[in-house]
Chains A and B, each alone.
Chain A
Amino acid sequence: MTAAKERLSSGTRVLVIGLGRSGRSTLATLQQRQIHLTATDDHQPTLTAAASALTASDVSVAYASQIVEETPSYDLAILSPGVPQTSPIVQAMRRANIPIIGEIEAAALLTKASIVAITGTKGKSTTTALVGELFRTADCKTYVGGNIGNPLIAEAVKAEENAWLIAEVSSFQLETIVDFKPRISVLLNLSPDHLDRYHDEEEYYAAKFRIFSNQDTNDTFIANLDDPRVAALTENARTGPRCICRGFSRYPHRGAELFVDDESIIWQRDPQSRQRLIGIDELPLLGAHNVSNTLAALLVGLTAGLPVAPLIEGVRKFGGLAHRLSIIGEVNGVRYIDDSKATNPDSVIAALEAFNTPLVLIAGGRNKGTDFTALAGTIRRQTRAVVLLGESAAEIAANLREHPIQRAQSMEEAVELAASIARPGDTVLLSPGCASFDMFASAEARGDAFASAVSTRLRTRS
């Protein structure tokens, strides 16, 4: 039993830092275990809201600044991923020699299940959801959590002995792991991200590499061999994983055991056996990045020793996540696709490249400080026209120069304009490349507005 685990048993004093979704879920889980809990946050409204919700139970609430001033005496601190390592409260815990763990570490300590941990810069959520679907289809007891929505800790305590706990883990969450040891870890890809929190790319990658830092030869690391950084990691005995590596690739010649050849996914577990699993055209998820996500999820299933048939069935029936290239419907031969969760230009580029039909793109919103020049090139190449919406409309338009552009004031108008430009066989794609907060409450709300505008058209036409 590790030191941290002893500190999570009944009678101990635990401080939960950060009362976002993860922190609240941690409190709710630990409340049932006779642990003396203190909750803290440096955002006053959050704390007040939490305090009123928690008064009935055995949880004390304190301001972060208050705790920093007093001499803290806790057995353990559990840190939410949103709180940076540099914040005063974390520093105070360090000074007082109080061990700090993250929510996923706590989840790993409390669970009896085998853990599959999935990380990467892009595609984490889709892959995690797909892995969950595949394991459920293969009749495994499956619990899915982490960054994806429901906090991992709530799922972790529910999971029984033979179950699988499928966790989407972000680099923020990986920063605080100490003994977190997944049975299977997946690294989908690496590209610069969150540079507001990390000094440089290398520091961000180093956080990602922690996913396999505790894995040994009983565990497996699944690598995307198409990503040169990930591939190099699997042959580096110094910085790479010390566990078994297995690889997938969208090309047949990278030495991967699961790869795409002749438009089909092939599983070659040894030189003699070559098994065709499914055709690329049968995959319900669109786009090359989703082929990689599917390969990753399949290899997780194969590594867990699941039979091939349910894995293929699971891939076939997986509908994808809402607002990520989800098909809304077809009106007059024009397909409408909602990719509202594409809130940065890179995601829009990936979406645009997923289609080989002419496209009408609906884009725009609140710019998060990114540059649109790379996106403009792809838009000119892949789209018939663009309908622009929201605050960044002018900025995107400036980058597009001669390309046909329409401006819309509302989502209904945008769909109307897009429909008038599109010809039968075309696709209308909502992939904003910007945040939604200038016009909508969230990316989900924006996607829902798009879907309702499309369904209005559906009803009026039929």
Chain B
Amino acid sequence: MISTRSTTKRRRPSRVQRPRSAWVAAPPDAWLFGSVAALIGIGLIMIFSASSATAARDFHDATYYLKRQLIWLVVALAIGGAVFRMEYQRLRQIATPALIITFVLLAAVLIPHIGLATNGARRWLGTGSISIQPSEFAKLTLVLYFASALSQSGGRVRDLQRGMLPLTIIAGALALLVLKEPDMGTASLLIMTAATMLYVAGARLTHLFFFALCAIPPTALIVLGSAYKRARIFAFIDPWKDPENTGFHIVQSLLALGSGGIFGVGLGVSRQKFFWLPEPYTDFIFSILGEELGLIGELVVIALFIIFAYRAIRIALGAHDRFGFLLAIGCTSLILIQAFINIGVVTSSWPVTGVPLPFISFGGSSLVVNVAAVALLMNIGRKRRVA
């Protein structure tokens, strides 16, 4: 038998070979850092502007929330600095313990007398003025665990029983605990981030669709279970149907955005922040921004998030190893999905779920977690793949 296969095809070895695992040292990403610094700066200004009325009323100190956010910023920068300098490959070793601790903390929140309740939801751990939100840290531990598991398994993510199923169960269990608080925003964020990471890691689309289908009945049960919840969540379709009750937040937000127009009513001149919009410095801060700085201000914030997205994805694609790649993708999706949901809710184009706007909304745990995620991205960006 005569073989038709040609043997002339020969790989010519180059004099100095560069495998995928080679890297070059890259300077810290100034664009990524700059965009996040600008967002945090805008955030501080807007937190002061949006919270001063409430703070003066409740604490007789207009800068109460600004001061707290500044203290948290110092904490976030200290943690971020440490995260930036560490060897990120070492995080792989703490992925599993961190996940277990997160499960314990999330369960503890649900136990009366341990978890602190505000506005009818148990989300915090701690005493008095110092409290943390385990669900915020669940975001990072989920990303870390998924990056670790998906980088080790190689092709296993395409295997249902050994790859997809255990990871889906872990993400589902985390989301379920968060959902019990109840914190539907964070729960949906966890699921969306997990799905993004699975997709990027090369999971089968049929598997992803299958799990999405499986998730519909329980989600429907929870969401549609009570008429009140259903009405609140779907208020975004027609908020004017019940502007005094379920549609209240959205209507107030839209009024703020509308009165801002293109150039805004001017920094500090918002009317909505005077007790029309409850807690205007947290999830609905974007509407105050829109009212005071107009469409221009909103576009600047969105442009900063787009710069962030571009640089972060660039870092992920240039990551030195698969673990770094997946970690970077996870951190990026965490922040961008939050921004997307938050702006969607405020502009009445997404179901109402309480998710803060990264870097801008008031909130210590959220700021620390987001800054840590950025520090991790910048850390990964220091070693760029060359092949």
Contacts and interface: CB of A to CB of B under 8 A. Distances in A.
Nearest to B387: A270
A217 B26 CA distance: 12
B213 interface: no
B13 interface: yes
Interface string B18-46: 11111111111000000000000000000
A305 B16 contact: yes
A253 B89 contact: yes
B93 A238 contact: no
Contacts of B151: 271
B349 to A, nearest CB: 39
Interface stretch (B257-265, B318-326, B340-348): B318-326
A455 B261 CA distance: 97
Contact of A235 (B22, B382, B387): B382
B24 A244 contact: yes
B17 interface: yes
A268 interface: yes
A218 interface: yes
Contacts of A303: 16-17
A215 to B, nearest CB: 11
B10 to A, nearest CB: 14
B323 A255 contact: yes
Contacts of B24: 217, 242-245
B127 interface: no
Contacts of A57: none
B25 A234 contact: yes
A270 B20 contact: yes
The DSSP consensus for interface residues of chain A is loop
Most central of A255, A270, A305 by chain B CB within 10 Å:
A255
Contacts of B383: 234-235, 245, 255
A16 B22 CA distance: 40
B262 to A, nearest CB: 42
A441 interface: no
A417 to B, nearest CB: 46
Interface in B253-301: none
Contact of A255 (B26, B27, B28, B89): B89
B154 interface: yes
B21 A268 contact: yes
A334 interface: no
Interface in A360-393: none
Interface in B125-165: 151, 154
B23 A234 contact: yes
Nearest to B18: A244
A256 to B, nearest CB: 8
B113 interface: no
A256 B18 CA distance: 14
B321 A255 contact: yes
A241 B26 CA distance: 10
A207 B107 CA distance: 55
B252 to A, nearest CB: 48
A45 to B, nearest CB: 46
A255 B383 CA distance: 11
Contacts of B93: 253
A236 B382 contact: yes
B143 to A, nearest CB: 18
B222 interface: no
A272 interface: yes
B382 A237 contact: yes
B148 to A, nearest CB: 10
A305 B15 contact: yes
B309 to A, nearest CB: 23
B386 interface: yes
Contacts of A254: 87, 89-90
B14 interface: yes
A454 B255 CA distance: 96
A296 to B, nearest CB: 15
Interface in A174-230: 183-184, 217-220, 228
B25 A242 contact: yes
Band of interface residues on A: 35 or more
A218 B16 contact: yes
B90 A253 contact: yes
B314 interface: no
A14 B191 CA distance: 73
A398 to B, nearest CB: 41
Contacts of B324: 255
Interface string A243-275: 111110000011111000000000011111000
B27 A237 contact: yes
Most central of A184, A238, A268, A271 by chain B CB within 10 Å:
A271
B17 A244 contact: no
B92 interface: yes
A269 B22 CA distance: 8
Contact of A270 (B21, B90, B323): B21
Contacts of A331: none
A302 interface: yes
B20 A269 contact: yes
A78 to B, nearest CB: 30
A253 B386 CA distance: 21
A303 B89 CA distance: 23
Interface string B343-387: 000000000000000000000000000000000000000110011
A304 interface: yes
A114 to B, nearest CB: 8
A231 interface: yes
Given A183-B16, A305-B15, A237 B89 contact: no
A305 B17 CA distance: 6
Most central of A217, A302, A305 by chain B CB within 10 Å:
A305
B60 to A, nearest CB: 48
A304 B93 CA distance: 33
Given A234-B25, A235-B383, A245-B25, A271 B322 contact: yes
Contact of A220 (B14, B22, B89): B22
Nearest to A220: B16
A231 B85 CA distance: 11
Contacts of A234: 23, 25, 383
Contacts of A304: 15-16
B3 to A, nearest CB: 25
A255 B320 contact: yes
Contact of A271 (B16, B18, B20, B22): B20
B22 A241 contact: no
A256 B21 CA distance: 8
A244 B93 CA distance: 27
Given A257-B19, A270-B19, A271-B154, A241 B321 contact: no
Nearest to A162: B15
A268 B21 CA distance: 8
Contacts of B16: 183-184, 218-220, 303-305
Nearest to A272: B154
Contacts of B20: 269-271
A287 interface: no
B295 to A, nearest CB: 39
17 contacts: A184-B16, A234-B25, A235-B382, A236-B382, A237-B27, A242-B25, A243-B24, A244-B22, A245-B24, A245-B25, A245-B383, A246-B19, A253-B93, A254-B90, A255-B89, A270-B20, A303-B16
For the complex of A and B, the 8 pairs showing the least CB-CB separation, nearest first, are A269-B19, A257-B21, A270-B20, A235-B382, A237-B27, A255-B89, A240-B25, A237-B25
Given A234-B383, A245-B22, 18 more contacts: A218-B16, A219-B16, A235-B25, A237-B25, A237-B26, A237-B28, A245-B23, A245-B24, A253-B89, A254-B90, A255-B89, A257-B19, A268-B21, A270-B19, A270-B20, A302-B17, A305-B13, A305-B14
